[in-house]
Chain A
């Protein structure tokens, strides 16, 4: 059986939450092997823990500038691991900005298909099959690879199940000879403190707020409803542009695509670009004062009314049911 490499994202020695599903995806296609790129001297990711998640071999590339170059160390490590492993049919990476770009470059370096934002993978006699969603889930696309190594980035939260535990044997790889020109990372401004709320991409329930909230201060109402429901917080582009919340909360065509069990749109008119990011949610609820808002066309339950009276009442009712 051929090997399938998995690029491991990690921080402070801990593999990212998505690691299990990436290895599970790899196990459907072949024998999973992990690839870890780490800064020399930094806390190592436990090979044992990656073995427990299903990695047979754990390839480790340590280099002094692993954390200060844009994606080139990851590309070099994946390439070196592929050469060390020999028979590699596919490479699985997360769909984060960094991992997806490392995968894209690897596909060029090794020669192979690059398939992005994949929501399902399978393998049969004809080869590897990936499932992707086009136009915000309006179309489901199944694709294969004509030749070469398939490099596949997996949308977070889309793969169920786990791979059987494997050995997790560490093998050091040397990437010192890599000659790629890298851009320098001169400073990091990233949230290290994980939010208490679930992540937007994987949350079971998402509550999003729009321009109807009217101000950054009043946007707190969306957060209160989300917290009452144990939901993630999203926003329309209009709300982001108006400065009510951070850009990484944007749901829609040019933001995050979500498909939770329940999506609640608060004060969002539902422009087609917003719907492209949430229309594959299982149940959609909308609260908006304008009865003609296009969001009501896709809502399973819609309330035409003032969100500032409806939402507080909903929060109270939710809290009452939970207590």
Chain B
């Protein structure tokens, strides 16, 4: 089985994240990491591979040079090879454009299963997997918290706002996973060393066959007009409980007309 797993490099959620007011784009000068949800996506792909002998896992990302580290991390975990969509002309893409570029890279390679995270921690648009299913004409099994592939049937539990539903489809199909899917394995030393030798193909706009007047921030469908940081919160009153803190807190809430 040929499995593609989509990963994204994002600003570390442990740090201060910001949008650059001059470019109106995410500031990528701080610590960048593979998104946590994508470590779990890779884990999900590896579990499918291990359950289906003869499978191959290809890691796919779109991003600048630094995003190669996200691919290497996935390769160190056990993925087999990578595809890196890298082109200055892709910078500033919105979800529509990102899905178009990924679809162009994925469409001709005969993947049986494409696995993505349900939403990135930076954009949180949570739309690219559904858009890819639409573009590629694949069954969409998104927001899965469990994933099983038996023969040519893929199934799992899809989260909904009121619980979950059981879903099923024939391969080929597109899956997105939630953070409940699995705990990601840690790459071991051998994995890290092996990852350095694994093949990573690079693709630019020309390779993807995308019209240059449709790519990048200058041609995005959604255009950011203004970005305003929220003023920092100032510190409030902190009391140490002397036996009356619960009552003091009630007094505070009452004074603020919150109760």
Q: Please, which residues of chain A bring their CB within 8 A of the CB of B36?
A: 254
B259 touches A253 (CB 8 A): no
Q: For A276, what are the chain B residues with a Cβ–Cβ distance below 8 Å?
A: 13
Interface string of B113-154 (1 = CB under 8 A from A): 000000001101111111101110111111101000000000
> CB < 8 Å: which of A104, A129, A183, A313 contacts B131?
A104
Contact in complex: B165, A187 (CB < 8 Å): yes
Interface check B236, CB cutoff 8 A: yes
In the complex, the answer to whether B130 meets A101 with C-beta atoms within 8 Å is yes
Our pick among A70, A129, A184, A229 for the contact of B225 (Cβ within 8 Å) is A129
Assess whether A304 is in contact with B165, with CB atoms less than 8 Å apart.
no
Residues of B within 8 A of A (CB): 13-15, 17-19, 24, 36-37, 94-96, 99, 121-122, 124-131, 133-135, 137-143, 145, 155, 157-169, 173, 179-180, 219-230, 233, 235-241, 243-254, 256, 258-259
In Å, the complex CA distance between A97 and B144 comes to 11
Say if the beta carbon of A300 comes within 8 Å of chain B: yes
Contact pick for B230, options A116, A140, A143, A229, CB 8 Å? A140
A108 to B125, CA, bound (A): 14
Q: Does B221 contact A112, Cβ atoms closer than 8 Å? A: yes
A sample of 7 more A-B contacts (CB under 8 A), given A96-B160, A187-B166, A314-B246, is A98-B161, A101-B127, A114-B222, A139-B228, A183-B141, A273-B14, A299-B235
Instruction: Find A317's partner among B18, B240, B246 (CB 8 Å cutoff).
Output: B246
* Given A71-B130, A96-B161, A297-B235: A283 and B258 interface contact (C-beta under 8 Å): yes
C-alpha gap A310/B254 in the complex (Å): 17
- Chain A: CB-nearest residue to B161: A96
Interface string of A48-75 (1 = CB under 8 A from B): 0000000000000000000000111001
- The A interface is mostly helix, strand or loop, or mixed, namely mixed
A102, A143, A312 — most chain B CB neighbours (10 Å): A143
The answer, yes or no, to whether A244 is at the interface (CB within 8 Å) is no
Known contacts A138-B17, A301-B252, A303-B239, A310 near B138 by CB under 8 Å: no
Check B223 against A143 for contact (C-beta < 8 Å): yes
A272 within 8 A of B: yes
Nearest chain B CB to A294 CB, angstrom units: 12
Chain A: interface residue total (CB-CB under 8 A): 91
Q: Nearest-CB distance from B146 to chain A (Å)?
A: 12
Using CB atoms and an 8 Å cutoff, list the residues of chain A in contact with chain B.
70-72, 75, 96-98, 100-105, 107-109, 112-117, 129, 134-135, 137-148, 180-192, 205, 229, 247-248, 253-254, 261-262, 272-273, 276, 279-280, 283-285, 287, 291, 296-306, 309-318, 321-322
Query: Are the C-beta atoms of B241 and A310 separated by less than 8 Å?
Result: yes
| A70–B142 touching, CB < 8 Å | yes
Bound: A280/B232 CA distance, A: 10
CA distance A95 to B228 in the complex (A): 23
A-B contact pairs, 8 of them (CB 8 A): A113-B94, A142-B225, A180-B137, A182-B169, A185-B165, A287-B245, A301-B236, A302-B239
- Separation in Å of the A257 CB from the closest CB of chain B? 9
Q: Which single member of A72, A97, A144, A299 contacts B160 (CB below 8 Å)?
A: A97
CB distance from A85 to the nearest CB of B (A): 21
Q: How far is the CB of A266 from chain B (nearest CB, A)?
A: 11
Give chain A nearest CB distance to B226 CB in angstroms: 4
Please name all residues of chain B whose beta carbon is closer than 8 Å to the beta carbon of A145 when the two chains form the complex. Answer: 221-223
Residues of B within 8 A of A304 (CB): 238-241
For B230, the chain A residues whose CB sits under 8 A away are 137-140, 280
Query: Of B126, B173, B250, which one neighbours A183 at CB under 8 angstroms?
Result: B173
Q: Is the CB of A312 within 8 A of B238?
A: no
Given contacts A143-B222, A304-B238, contact A190 B131 (CB under 8 A): no
* Alpha-carbon distance A140/B227, docked complex (angstroms): 6
Contact A191/B163 with A105-B131, A113-B222 known, Cβ cut-off 8 Å: yes
Q: Is the CB of A299 within 8 A of B121?
A: no
Q: Which of A107, A108, A318 contacts B259 (CB 8 A)?
A: A318
Residues on the A chain within 8 Å of B138, using CB: 181
A321 to B220, CA, bound (A): 54
- Chain A residues in 8 Å Cβ range of B122: 135
Contacts of B125 in A (CB 8 A): 104, 114, 116-117
**What's the Cα separation between A107 and B72 when bound, in Å?**
33
